Amino acid sequence: MTIDFIQHVNIRCAPGDLATIERFYTEVVGLQRGHRPPNLRNQGIWLYLGPQPVVHVTARCAEGFVQSEHHGSVDHVAFQSCDAAAFANKLSSMNIAWEQSNVAGAGYQIFIRDPVGTVLEFNFPNSEAPA
């Protein structure tokens, strides 16, 4: 067996959180809602990056699950990205808290949290780090 790439990440939430999570991932991250097979057991949405559904959201938790500190086994999800300045400006204009790091040889990183506390890491070339 060989692995070619990570196909998708699944995020759990309560049914009442689906709209908030969809809005976050479409407006902030830039993903698009797309087809999700109708015969799945729980409510949910699939969010696409181009033709690939990269974030699956499944409503499998009780209402009130949204929390400021994420306690799942997955620490964060990372996206290879470009145009760090535009993304930082977008986050600031939307009043979304973010942190940054510039790791020599590894990239400039911007970190945010989604509505259920999952850390999202956006990796940019080191050349896009602010002066």
**Structural domain boundaries in the chain:** 1-62, 76-131
For residue 81, what are the contacts with CB-CB under 8 A and spacing of at least 6?
87, 122, 123, 124
Q: What is the pLDDT of residues 7-22, one digit of tens each?
A: 899 998 889 999 999 9
Residue-wise pLDDT tens digits, 75-100: 789 999 999 999 999 999 999 999 99
Identify the CATH number of the domain defined by range 1-62.
3.10.180.10
- pLDDT tens digit sequence for 23-67: 999 999 999 999 999 888 889 999 999 999 999 999 988 887 766
Q: At 85, which helix (H) or strand (E)?
A: helix 84-93
What dotted CATH number matches 76-131? 3.10.180.10
- The Cα 91–Cα 68 span in angstroms is 18
**What's the gap between Cα 85 and its chain centre?**
18
Q: Do domains 1-62 and 76-131 have the same CATH topology?
A: yes
Record the pTM: 0.85
Confidence class of residue 70 from pLDDT cuts 50, 70 and 90?
A: low
